Chain A
C-alpha cells in the first residue's frame, strides 16, 4: 500500500515541477503579449515616449525577453522571487501579507461548506427521487445559476445596509475577538458557500448514486445490512476518491478564485493581488501568484488522490 502512495507522490512531484515550468513560460509569454508594459502603467497618462523609454531602462525592461525570463527563473531557483516592478517591494513580502488572508477565508469557508455539502449530497443520493432530493436539487441548481457578485451585493444590501447585522467590509487588521471574527466573515463565507456547497453537493450525490448502483452494494443490501451500514461502510469508502477530488477542486478555487468576494468585501487576498499585478504588468508578482495557485492546485489534487487510494478497500488490501 505504502509503495503505491510513495510511487504516486514521487511521480506527482516530477509532473508538478514540469507543469510549473510550463505554466511559468506560458504566463511569461502571456504577459509579454498583453498590450502595454509596467512603465506605461506607472506613468499612466504621463507616458510620453521618452519618459517610457527612460523608465524602461531603469527597470531593466529593455533587455530581451528570454534574458529577463531566465533572470527571474534563476532568482526563483535560488529562493528569491524578485521584487515587484511597480512598488519595488519584495514579492515574498507582498505574498506573505496576503496568503494568510486567503488561506483563512478558504479554511473558514471549507469548514462551513464541506460538512453541509457532503451531508446533503449523501442524503439526496440515498433518498434519490424523493421530495427531499428534488427540493435540494432544485435549490442548489438555482443557487449555482446566480452569479456570485449578485449574491454578494444582495447580501450586503440586505444584511449590512438594511438590517445592519454585519459589516459591509471584511477586512480587519490585528487580533480580533471571536465575535468580531464571526461578523467579519459571515457575509463573504455565506457568498462563497452558496456556490461551493451546491457544486460539491451535486458531485457527492452523483458519486454516491454511482456507487449505490454497484453490485457489491446490492450484495450488502441482499445480505440484510441496515441502510445506514450500507451507505457508511460499504458505499462511502468507495466514493471518497471522487468526493475528495471535488472538495480539492473547490478548495483550490477558494484560494485563487475568490476574486469577486475579495473585491465586493474589500478583503485583501491573493486573487486581488494577482489582478493588480496583471493590470500593472508586474511580471515577477504575476509569476509568483500563478506559481502559488498552480502548486496549491496540484498539491490538493495529489492529496485527493492519496485519500482516494487510502480509502479504497481494493487498493488498501492489496
Chain B
C-alpha cells in the first residue's frame, strides 16, 4: 500500500507538520532563522526544503498572535523612586515600563543586533565618528504631536545635564554634538569612532521623550501603550495605543504593572492566578513552577554575573599569585549546580558570555584545581593567613558562593572570613571598596560597553582596579573596526587579557528566570535581561 501516492503525501505532510512544530519551538526559544535552517540542514534536509519549513514555522509562530486581553505583571523592584523618565530607569520594573510608553531610535533583537525603530535609516561616515539619522515620518506621540528631530535632540542631550540624574550619562559621554539637520533628520558627532552606536541607541536610557519634557508624572511617548495611570511605588496601567506605528502591534489591551519585592510572595501571586507574569524567580523556586500546570518558566541566558572582586591595588590582590590561587579555588560546576540549580553557564573569569557574538570559545576553561591554588598561594607568601570577604544580599548569591570558596580555601591553608553587610547602600558604600568583596553586572548589550564600563583602565566601575595598556589600545581599535573578523580577533585577545590579569573572578553567568501563565505567548529571550530584555510589552499576547 505504500505505493499509494495519497498515503505517502499524508505522511509527508505529517512529517512536515512535526518539523514545523519543533522548529516553531526553536523560534520561541530564541533561535534565529539562520540557526534553525542550519539545524534542519544538519538534520539532513535539503537547503530549499529547510527554507520552506523555516518560513512556514515563522509565519505560524507570528500569525497565531491574538489581539486583546488584559494582564497583570508583578516585578521584583518597586519604590517611590519608580520613574517614567527613561534617563533615570535603573531597574527592570522601570525599564519594562519605559518600553511600554517610549521607543528608541533602534531596538535590540534576539541576537542583540540593533533593528531600526523610530529611525528609518542610520548611516555612519568618517569611520563611524559621524552618524546620520533619518526618522520615520509616520510616528506620533500619545498627545497627537508628530515625532521630529527636535524631540530626539532634546532626549539625547538631556543626559549631559547633571540635574537630570541620568544613569546613562557615562554611555552618552562620547556623544559630542547632536544637531537637527531637518525636521526628520539629524546628525550625531562622536568624540571617537564607535561602530556600536546603533546598538547603544537601543538601550532604555536613550528612549525618546517629547521635546521639552521635564514633568514625568505621566508619559508622553511614541510607544505601544499609553499611560493611563502611574503611581510610584504602587502601580502603572498601560492601555493600547491604537495609533502605534508598528502594524498589528501591540496585541494586548491593557497591562497593569506593579512590584512585589518579596520573591515567595511573587511566586505565590503567580501560582494563585493573581498575576500573569513575574520576573526574578529564584532558582530554588523553579521546581515549584515547573511542577505546576498552567505556568511556565522562562529562562534567558545572558551576560549577567556576580563576581568575586579582588582589588589589585592593595594587598593581598597586588600579588598576582594570590589572585590566581583564588581563581583556581572556584568549583564552578558546583556553584552552577548547588547555587544556581543549573540555571547558569560556566564562566571563565572574563565578562563576555556565550550568547555574545564575540565570545571566544577557544580560550581554555580555567579548571577547579586545589593543587594549583595551593601552589600559587604558597608562592604568594599569603599561606595560612585570614582574609575577610565582604558579602551582601545586594550581590545575589554572594554569600553562598563565598561559603563554597571558604571550604575549598580551608583545605589548602587559606582562611576566608565572611563579613556580611546589608543590601541597603551596598553599591555606593561597599562595592569595590574592600580588598576582597563581591560585585556584579546585568547583561550589557555589546562587548564594547561591557569592557569600557567595567574593565578599561581607570573606568569608574573597573571593579578590581585592573590596568592594561594593550587592552585599552585594543578597546579603542575594536570600537572603530567595521570588519567583523578583525574585530572578533581583537575581542578574543581582550577576553584572554582579562581572563589572565584582572582581579574579577567570574564563576558563572546567571540566567534570568521569569515565569508566566501558559496562555501568555510571544516571549523570546533577549540576552540584555529577562522578559525580552524588558521589552516584552509590545510582543506578548494572550491565548484564550
Contacts and interface: CB of A to CB of B under 8 A. Distances in A.
Interface of A: 34-36, 39-51, 53-55, 57-58, 84, 86-87, 89, 94, 97, 153, 156-157, 160-161, 164, 167-169, 171, 173, 263-266, 268, 272-273, 276-277, 279-280, 282, 285
A58 B163 contact: yes
Contacts of A280: 79-81
Contact of A285 (B80, B91, B166): B80
A280 B83 CA distance: 13
Nearest to A46: B167
Given A97-B234, A156-B272, A160-B274, 15 more contacts: A35-B425, A39-B165, A40-B425, A47-B428, A48-B170, A51-B165, A58-B163, A86-B83, A94-B80, A157-B268, A168-B265, A169-B260, A171-B234, A266-B259, A266-B265
B154 interface: no
B404 interface: no
Grouping DSSP codes into helix (H, G, I), strand (E, B) and loop, the B interface class, with mixed when no group exceeds half, is loop
B262 interface: yes
Contacts of A167: 272, 274
For chain B, the bracket of interface size reads 35 or more
The 5 A-B pairs with the shortest beta carbon distances in the complex, nearest first, are A54-B162, A58-B163, A46-B167, A276-B79, A160-B272
Contacts of B461: 45
B268 A153 contact: yes
Given A46-B168, A48-B169, A272-B233, A264 B265 contact: yes
Contacts of A86: 80-81, 83
B51 interface: no
Contacts of A97: 231, 234
B4 interface: no
Interface string B435-469: 00000010000000000000000001100000000
Contact of A48 (B79, B261, B460): B460
Given A42-B165, A266-B260, A164 B272 contact: yes
5 contacts: A46-B170, A55-B163, A171-B258, A266-B260, A282-B80
Contacts of A41: 81, 428
A150 to B, nearest CB: 11
A42 B371 CA distance: 46
Contacts of B311: none
B91 to A, nearest CB: 8
B88 A266 contact: no
A168 B72 CA distance: 13
A282 B460 CA distance: 25
Interface string B239-269: 0000000000000000000111110110011
A156 B265 contact: yes
A49 B162 CA distance: 11
Nearest to A166: B272
A46 B166 contact: yes
Contacts of A266: 74, 258-260, 265, 269
Most chain A Cβ neighbours within 10 Å, of B81, B90, B169: B81
A263 B234 contact: no
A87 B428 contact: no
B476 to A, nearest CB: 20
A89 B163 contact: no
A249 to B, nearest CB: 27
Given A35-B429, A263-B262, A279 B163 contact: no
A18 to B, nearest CB: 30
Given A46-B167, A54-B162, A169-B274, A87 B80 contact: yes
A156 B429 contact: no
Contacts of B162: 50-51, 53-55, 57-58
Interface in B490-515: none
Contact of A34 (B80, B269, B425): B425
A168 B233 contact: no
Contacts of B235: 171, 173
B273 interface: yes
A43 B427 CA distance: 11
Contact of B268 (A57, A156, A272): A156
Contacts of A273: 80, 233
B50 to A, nearest CB: 44
A169 B169 contact: no
A44 B77 CA distance: 13
Nearest to A163: B272
Contacts of B264: 153
Contacts of B262: 263-264
A84 B74 CA distance: 24
A100 B461 CA distance: 43
A198 B233 CA distance: 32
B232 A89 contact: yes
A258 to B, nearest CB: 14
Contacts of A57: 162-163
Given A45-B461, A87-B83, A276 B233 contact: yes
Given A35-B428, A35-B429, A45 B90 contact: yes
Contacts of A168: 265, 268-269, 271-272, 274
B306 interface: no
B82 interface: yes
A281 B165 CA distance: 15
B11 interface: no
